[in-house]
């Protein structure tokens, strides 16, 4: 299971994943507040939604769950002399 120091690390990890990579990668986290892969597959097969929309929502749900579970915070970044949290 991959460990994250900050929210940005999690986002960078999730962002490039394909649909199948996503399901494989999140399996160890046992995220309960997410639609099942079977339901998602069914909706995609029946053209209820588009893959890009589905994947965007799934990644958002996974991000929320992981951020809360591991109490991830945002990395402080220096932008033009201002510290941003």
Instruction: Indicate if the pLDDT at residue 85 is higher than 70.
Output: no
Which domain range does residue 15 map to?
A: 7-84
Q: Hey, which residues does 73 pair with through a beta bridge?
A: 6
Between strands 77-79 and 82-84, the pairing is antiparallel
Q: Give domain status of residue 12, yes or no.
A: yes
Instruction: Indicate if the pLDDT at residue 79 is higher than 60.
Output: no
Q: Give domain status of residue 11, yes or no.
A: yes
CA distances to 25, 29, 40, 75, 82 from 64, in Å: 15, 12, 18, 16, 27
Instruction: Indicate if the pLDDT at residue 83 is higher than 90.
Output: no
Q: Give domain status of residue 72, yes or no.
A: yes
Token reading at 22: 């996503």
pLDDT in tens, 20-68: 999 999 999 998 778 899 999 999 999 999 999 999 999 999 999 999 9
pLDDT of residue 84: 58
* Residue 81 confidence class, pLDDT cut points 50, 70, 90: low
> How many independent structural domains does the chain possess?
1
Q: Give domain status of residue 1, yes or no.
A: no
Q: Give domain status of residue 2, yes or no.
A: no
Contact indicator for 19, 54 with CB cutoff of 8 Å: yes
Q: What is the pTM of this model?
A: 0.84
């Amino acid at each position: 299971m991959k460990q994250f120091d900050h929210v940005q690390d999690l986002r960078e990890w999730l962002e490039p994943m394909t649909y199948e990579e996503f399901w494989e990668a999140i399996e160890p986290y046992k995220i309960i507040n997410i639609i099942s892969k079977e339901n998602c597959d069914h909706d995609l097969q029946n053209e209820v939604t588009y893959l890009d929309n589905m994947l965007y929502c799934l990644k958002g749900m996974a991000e929320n769950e992981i951020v809360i579970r591991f109490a991830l915070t945002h990395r402080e970044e220096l932008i033009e002399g201002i510290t941003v949290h």
